[in-house]
Chain A
Amino acid sequence: MGLKVLGFRGGVHPFHRKESTQDKAVERMQAPRLVYIPLQQHIGAPCEPLVKPGDRVKLGQKIGQPKGFVGAPIHASVSGVVKDIKQMPHPTMGQGIAIVLENDGKDELDESIVPRDIEALDVDELKGLIFEAGIVGMGGAAFPTHVKLSPPKDKKIDVVILNGAECEPYLTADHRLMLENPQDVVDGLKAIMKVLGVERGYIAIEDNKPDAIRTIAEATASMPGVEVVRLRTKYPQGAEKQLIYAVTGRQVPSGGLPMDVGVVVNNVGTAAAIARAIKTGIPLIERIVTVTGGGVAQPKNLSVRIGTLFKDVIDACGGLVGQPAKVVSGGPMMGIAQYTLEVPVIKGTSGILVLTKQEAETPDPGPCIRCGKCVDACPMRLMPLFISVYSLKGDYDNSEKLHAMDCIECGCCSYICPAKRPLVQSIRTAKRVITERKRRAAGAK
């Protein structure tokens, strides 16, 4: 482990607020009576349901098959009966179709589940297994992992980075995972490196988690080509492009992907999920969620079955304290505010924040005073103040000229703005309109 602490230019230093859960070991939450498993839990097309109401399902049974290459199957996270297949609230998409399962409490395993050995599997078998287990990126974006692990032939991958930065305030799920299950993380890395035929692997962790750095360093001590990297604690240190720059010094080209510079990045949680799917044969049906914020009675790191309602998760943490002002799926910098607690945990749900009125303050914007703090904070070196002005005026052509499409939506600009202007929010609008226009232009041809 090097003594060097690596970082990038820009970023901000929000408070951590990790104190209330960082020392709490992961508890397994008892599966609720009803789980709601959305057909879409990844970027790409939703799954086709493989079951119908009235069917009996077993734990780990595949209940949804993706329609395209970019997609991942979904599995029953409990054993029991299919109650319904219906439209319901979705944490990232507002609404979506979900399969409702009534838990019989038996956790009866599906016959397809057989433990395997990483060493014994060849590359294609590993890749197939990762797809079949429904593994998606667990840092929040939920990109299907088997797609990431299948780069086109002309892209030579030579580095794999496991992202253990967890730079979002409040969240401690990855931190606890690295402390409690270092072997899963390491085995997952091994599998990923094997699939990609890569010799160099890094596990990158922010230096505010010295215990995790130590634990992972011990677990990787005997692994050739694998190194633990200490990252400067700042937000968004875990953003893919910033992470790649900090670890390798390579810059992903504008509009490009990590594989363009020979790198594949996976979350530590994703790696652990891969290892567990191989070692136990059980697909991705459970994940660690940090449940925290001033509005929850007992903040916890909980291992939760996919499809458990936020309401049930919060109840497992002693319930609400007073009336919550805002409930966020994910971290406070990039997470998505929910309009109801009747929304299920999905594979990408890293945290449930229950914010009190005080914590959730949305300040009124004032005029831009041109302080330039957003320019200094932008990790992509954009000029948020100018892009935002154009966007708010509806002048999306000029927003695009100022590289709006390169915005990674980390929110540093809005966070730091003393006038509390909706910078990232308006840039997001510009990106959406520009993408829409391009799609229409392509369609017209």
Chain B
Amino acid sequence: MDSLIVSSSPHVYSKDTTVRIMRDVVLALLPAAAVAVYFFGVRAALIMAISVLSAVITEAVVQKLMKKPITVNDWSAAVTGLMLAFNLPPTVPLWLPVVGSIVAIALVKQAFGGLGHNFMNPALAARAILLAAWPVYMTTWAEPIHGIVNSAADAVSSATPLAILKGLEGTEAQLPPLWAIILGSTKGCLGETSDLALLLGAAYLLWRRVINWRIPFSFIGTVALLTWVLGPRGLFTGNAIYHIFSGGLILGAFFMATDYSSSPVTPKGQIIMGIGCGVITTIIRLYGGYPEGVTYSILLMNVATPLIDRFTMPRIYGEVRADV
């Protein structure tokens, strides 16, 4: 009887683990990945595979060099790699995801202490850097194809729905039908075009309680409200529905803004994060130089996260209000 474990309570634990959460995120991204392959061909699969692989290898190499335990089997690097691929156009040269993954993992994640310590979403930060360094590659869109048999899609430089909405290119008459946008047969980044597939994954994450409603719903709600109110032909004339389903809003709201490390942990803070993202996204989309604002809105709010956490600490049970 000298072998009894003596440890401090609790003596039981939930089945939730970091690995389970990361695997759930990968699982939730799979429908959108499948749709990407369907609409953009084998090249989409290739980009995703390269991105994931280089993210995992980078993590292992960096950890080896820093003489830290190698933790690639926690799936978090794979999540970052896949997220990055989702944020790339289907036409990028195949070395681009490699550079992106190295930036995301080595610079944004490991340099700041690894899992849980990155102050920005690694995939999004990498995307922003790629966009600044290779703007042409990052904004060249391909017409979607149907069925993976058509090999690689042709690169054509043409307008995305958001660019049309903004009036940058084309007219609203050229907008693809709403169903095409929701289904994903529009131009855009690999993983962001199919809202239907993304929502399926998002529902799974909500059901598994990997994420909660606070950030995504306040984010999307804010964008919807503002883009409707601040319409192009005066107040309350905006096309909120198109704004919700175009670009990377669904992907960003459910999968990127909810990144644990770089978003607030307090309930109030999470709502502030969502609203902040929504406001910045709308401002960039309607008045900024880019047609899309999701990436920068999330990155900006990521930077504000420590501050938000500090000022939104919940009032504890039984704490007497200062005015009483």
What's the least CB distance linking B190 to chain A, in Å? 25
Residues of A within 8 A of B317 (CB): 241, 245, 251-252, 254, 379-381, 406
- How far does the alpha carbon of A375 sit from the alpha carbon of B12 in the complex, in Å? 19
Contact between chains at B4 and A339 (CB < 8 Å): yes
Binding site for A on B (CB under 8 A): 1, 3-14, 16-18, 20-21, 71, 74, 76, 114-117, 212, 260-261, 263-267, 270, 313-320
Chain B residues near A425: list those with CB within 8 A. Answer: 8
Please, which residues of chain A bring their CB within 8 A of the CB of B13? 361, 363, 414-415, 417, 420
Known: A332-B10, A367-B114. 10 other contacts (CB 8 A): A251-B318, A254-B316, A340-B1, A368-B116, A373-B16, A381-B316, A385-B265, A406-B316, A406-B319, A411-B10
Tell me whether A324 is interfacial, beta carbon within 8 Å: yes
A147 at the interface (CB under 8 A from B): no
Determine, out of A41-49, A115-123, A352-360, A437-445, the stretch whose residues face the partner at the interface.
Answer: A352-360
For residue A50, CB closer than 8 A to chain B, the reply is no
Top 5 closest A-B pairs, CB basis? A372-B265, A411-B10, A381-B314, A418-B16, A254-B318
Residues on A lying within 8 angstroms of B by beta carbon are 12, 14-15, 169, 241, 245, 251-256, 323-328, 332-341, 353, 355, 359-363, 366-373, 375-376, 379-383, 385, 402-403, 406, 409, 411, 414-420, 422, 424-425, 428
Of A336, A372, A379, A406, chain B has the most CB atoms within 10 Å of the CB of A372
Q: Is the CB of A335 within 8 A of B9?
A: yes
Point out the residues of chain A lying under 8 angstroms from B115, CB to CB. 366-367, 369
* Residue from B11, B212, B318 in contact with A241 in the complex, judged by beta carbons closer than 8 Å: B318
A278 CB to nearest chain B CB (Å): 34
Q: Which residues of B have CB within 8 Å of A362?
A: 5, 7
A327 contact set on B, CB distance < 8 A: 4
Residue of B at shortest CB range from A381? Answer: B314
A338 engages B316 (CB within 8 Å): no
Please report the C-alpha to C-alpha distance between residue A255 and residue B263 in the assembled complex, in whole angstroms.
31
Bound: A339/B7 CA distance, A: 10
Let me know if B8 and A383 touch, CB within 8 A: no
- Residues in A whose Cβ lies below 8 Å from that of B314: 375, 381-383
Would A372 and B270 be within 8 Å (CB), given that A241-B317, A341-B1 are in contact?
Answer: yes
**B11 adjacent to A360 (CB under 8 Å):** yes
* Residue numbers in B under 8 Å from A417 (CB-CB): 13-14, 16
Report yes or no: A380 in contact with B316, Cβ–Cβ below 8 A.
yes
